[in-house]
Each structure stands twice: as structure tokens, then as C-alpha cells.
Amino acid sequence: MKLLRYGPMGAERPGLLDDTGTIRDLSGVISDINGKTVDAATLKRLAAIDPATLQPVDAGVRIGPCVGDVSKFICVGLNYADHAAESNLPIPQEPILFQKAVSAICGPYDDVIRPKTATKMDWEVELGIIIGARASNITEAEAGAHIAGYCVVNDVSERAYQADRGGQWTKGKSADTFGPIGPWLVTADEVADVQSLDMFLDVDGVRRQTGNTNTMIFAAHYLVAYISEFMTLLPGDIIATGTPPGVGLGFKPPVFLDVGQTMHLGIKGLGEQRQTVVAYR
């Protein structure tokens, strides 16, 4: 299934994308797509519904973040060997973890706001994992049972905040609108091989990133198990699993985003996003 949330910011309703590309309203079935409704039993119940019995939604409606009420937005740094190389950093021996503020989350087509003091805004297409069941000290073999599905994430970054102002990644990743997710939560049963997904990102029509999840250093299921050693993962939590090469910081000289530029990104089978950078207001 492809689950989504649609409607005005802060008042999104749950929906389902049917095989014809029509959004169907789920608000008569569940209250939202969040940690309370991404469990295996609820997903099984939703999968049994004939989409044709659900009310269609206007095709022009705003698409919001694909999961709401997120408690944690965890990111993995330098998880592609070629991205580590372009960053002039060693391949990590264990996953590098940091958190992105949940207040950064926005819809896949919402504008991205350039912070007032930003000077080095960057892009990062990433595979997102959405947790479906509480996970604490689980094994890699158990991880699949704790995953509700996957989504596209743009880990928008401000490199000056990240590297030049105290060396803390979280403050370079957490500005409002720096976490577009969606358009859909694609349930895990629809992803045949999560470690074989093509991904891309363009800026103003110019290809900047091309990659595949098969070059991740630490695989998706491993990451879920690894992170669960250090913190309890709750249903609805998001893990952004790292980015392939081609980020603006990696160019010589570096190339950064400016107001008016548009990012277009996607992952095969998980959908596409598009955001325009706007000035702080």
C-alpha cells in the first residue's frame, strides 16, 4: 500500500493512493497515519479494504508528511562510501547517528525556507525507514517485523551551521522545513528489495545525485537493530539512512542552494518530491 496524509498543514487527513493514482480518503477508517496506526494489524486491515469503496480526493490537494506525530527523526551520517570520500572523511566503522528535530518535518512539495543566517544550504536524497513496532535491543533478523514501510527523505542541511559553528550536525539539519518526507509511506511488503533502489536528485533540472541503496555501508535492517541498542524506537519514528554522492558540499568549489532554486528528488517505487527554496519570512 501507499499511505499518505493530505490537506492543510497541521490538519492533514489520512489517505491511500490506489492503483490508478487516485487518492482515497481513509478518515472514516483511521484517524491519521501515525504511530497508532502503522502497526501490523492495522496495516493488514487497511490492505483488505477495496479502495473503490473509499471516497476519492481532489487531485490538487496538498500532500503532507506521510506520517504524523513523529517522536524521533534519527539520521545516519556518511552511510555511502563514495559520499564519505567526497566529504574527505573516513568510512565509519559503526553507524554515525544524529537527530533531526521533528519540527523540521514538512510535506514533500512544501517550500523549503532558507534560514535567516544561512550561507551554505545543501541537499541530500535519502531512504527513510518508518518504524511500525516498538524496538529495543532487537537483532538484525528481527528488524523486518518492526518496519512499517519506507519513504523518500530530503535531509536538507545548512553546512555552515553543521561544520563551522561548533561541529554539531543536529543544528545544521533541524531548521523548519529541513525534513520533507513522503509523498507516501510505502508498506514494507511492496518493497521487494530495499537494498536495490535507484535514487536521484536534481537542482533546477541539473542532475546532482545518482545512487542506489545497494551501496549503503550499513543496510536498512542492520540500522534498525543497531539504533535499538541505544534507544527504544517507537512506532512512527523515522530513520533517514544516509545519502549517495553528489551533495553540494562535495563539488569543487562547493555548490549551495539559493532562494528560488528547486530540488526534484525520488527513489524508485517510493515516489518523488519537489521543493522550492524561499527566503526566511
CA 203/CA 123 separation, integer angstroms: 9
- Residue 27 counted as domain residue: no
Count of domains forming the chain: 1
Q: Is 225 part of any domain?
A: yes
Within a domain: 50: no
| Cα–Cα dist 213/224, whole Å | 15
Q: Over its length of 281 residues, how does the chain's per-residue pLDDT go in tens digits?
A: 999 999 999 999 999 999 999 999 999 999 999 999 999 999 999 999 999 999 999 999 999 999 999 999 999 999 998 787 777 778 899 999 999 999 999 999 999 999 999 999 999 999 999 999 999 999 999 999 999 999 999 999 999 999 888 878 999 999 999 999 999 999 999 999 999 999 999 999 999 999 999 999 999 999 999 999 999 999 999 999 999 999 999 999 999 999 999 999 999 999 999 999 999 98
Residue 214: the pLDDT is 95
d(CA 233, CA 27): 26
Q: Is residue 9 part of a domain?
A: no
pLDDT at position 90 is 85
Residue 33 lies in a domain: no
Of the candidates 236, 253, 210, 229, which has an alpha carbon nearest to the alpha carbon of residue 83?
210
Give me the pLDDT at residue 116, please: 97
Query: Is residue 218 a contact partner of residue 76, using CB atoms and an 8 Å limit?
Result: yes
Instruction: Determine the Cα–Cα distance for residues 85 and 52; give it in Å rounded to an integer.
Output: 49
Predicted TM-score (pTM) of this structure = 0.97
CATH code (residue 267)? 3.90.850.10
List the domain range (segments joined by +) for residue 150: 65-279
- Please state whether beta strands 238-240 and 73-77 pair in parallel, antiparallel, or not at all (unpaired): parallel
In the chain the beta strands, taken as DSSP E runs, fall at: 2-6, 13-17, 23-25, 73-77, 96-99, 105-106, 112-114, 121-122, 125-131, 147-154, 157-158, 179-180, 185-187, 198-203, 206-212, 238-240, 262-267, 271-279
Return the pLDDT at 67: 98
What's the start-to-end Cα distance of the chain, in Å? Answer: 37
Does any domain span residue 229? yes
Q: What is the pLDDT of residue 275?
A: 98
Q: Is residue 60 part of a domain?
A: no
In a domain, 267, yes or no: yes
Grid cell listed for 185: 509511506
Alpha helices in the chain, H assignment, sequence order = 40-47, 81-86, 159, 220-230
